[in-house]
Copies of this chain bind each other. A is one copy, B any other.
Amino acid sequence: MEYEKTSRNTVKRGRKKASYDKDAIHSILDTNEICTVAFNVDGKAYAQPINYGRSDDYLYLHGSTKNRMTSALMKAGEVCLSVMSLDALKLTRSAFHHSVKFRSAVVFGEVRELTTEEDKLEGLKRIINHFVPGRWDHCRKPNSKELKATRVLEIKITSASAKIADSPPLDEPEDYALDFWAGTIPVKTVYEYPIPDENLKNGVELPSHVLEFYEEKKLKNRRGYWATIVCTSQLQLAGPEAVALFWSANLKC
């Protein structure tokens, strides 16, 4: 399944790195905790980082009821946001070809404020379970006072694109004779072992959902999980069935 290509989400620079595959885009969104939202205030564009949750084709943001960004998004009724994982620095013999390995997604969506207690709780549940899967069932749910102080926005993803760059350093043919060093510096986002709060109640042990979160992050870094996943854009040449097969295999491992 792909997101529709429109004038807004079609990648023009670096088309070979582009993907509109839903699973690829969702996977990049699920790997990250923080996105950067673009919004307008008085006709001027702002960029601001914020955490989010994803469930199917929906994203969720939350903030104080007086928050400038969420107010601007409600006024606009739509949003563009982006996420990016940096995977490596690529150093080449020429200044011109220096580059990075990365996975990024730019998402466009319709914004709707969730107003009933039930809807707000569901939105917040998706944010908390995006943060650490399964967490919602292991913490105190928001009470009426907390819900009243919180604005929850639902974003229906209407279009999106990913860029996935995983190629080795590349130089102009004549530059390979130069004496400059070229190579790759891998970059990894490492989630370390959970540290209990110093005021933790006696007898409360590290729960399995937190341990599993830690183990899964570690596993993905170790296996070079992404080194395989980033082949998606190449796989697309083999057709939608190959992509679906690839993702179903990868999401299980």
Residues of chain A whose beta carbon lies under 8 Å from any beta carbon of chain B: 8, 12-13, 33-34, 36-40, 43-49, 51, 63-64, 66-68, 76, 78-82, 84, 86, 89, 91-96, 98, 100, 102, 104, 106, 124, 128, 131-132, 135-136, 138-142, 146, 150, 168-169, 175-192, 194-201, 204-207, 210, 213-214
Cα distance, A177 to B140, chains bound together (Å): 11
| C-alpha gap A143/B109 in the complex (Å) | 42
Residue A196 contacts which of B181, B198, B200 (CB distance < 8 angstroms)?
B181
Q: Which residues of B contact A91 (CB under 8 A)?
A: 132, 135, 139, 194, 210
B residues within 8 A CB of A40?
40, 43, 45
Q: How many copies does the complex hold?
A: 2
- CB neighbours (8 Å) of A38 from chain B are 38-39, 45-47
A197/B178 in contact, CB under 8 A: no
6 example contacts (A-B, Cβ-Cβ < 8 A) are as follows A12-B68, A48-B106, A181-B205, A183-B195, A183-B200, A187-B189
Min C-beta distance of A6 to chain B, whole Å: 12
The contact of A106 among B8, B47, B66, by CB within 8 Å, is: B47
Q: How far is the CB of A141 from chain B (nearest CB, A)?
A: 6
Which of B13, B49, B124 is close to A67, meaning CB atoms less than 8 Å apart?
B13
A49 CB to closest chain B CB (Å) equals 4
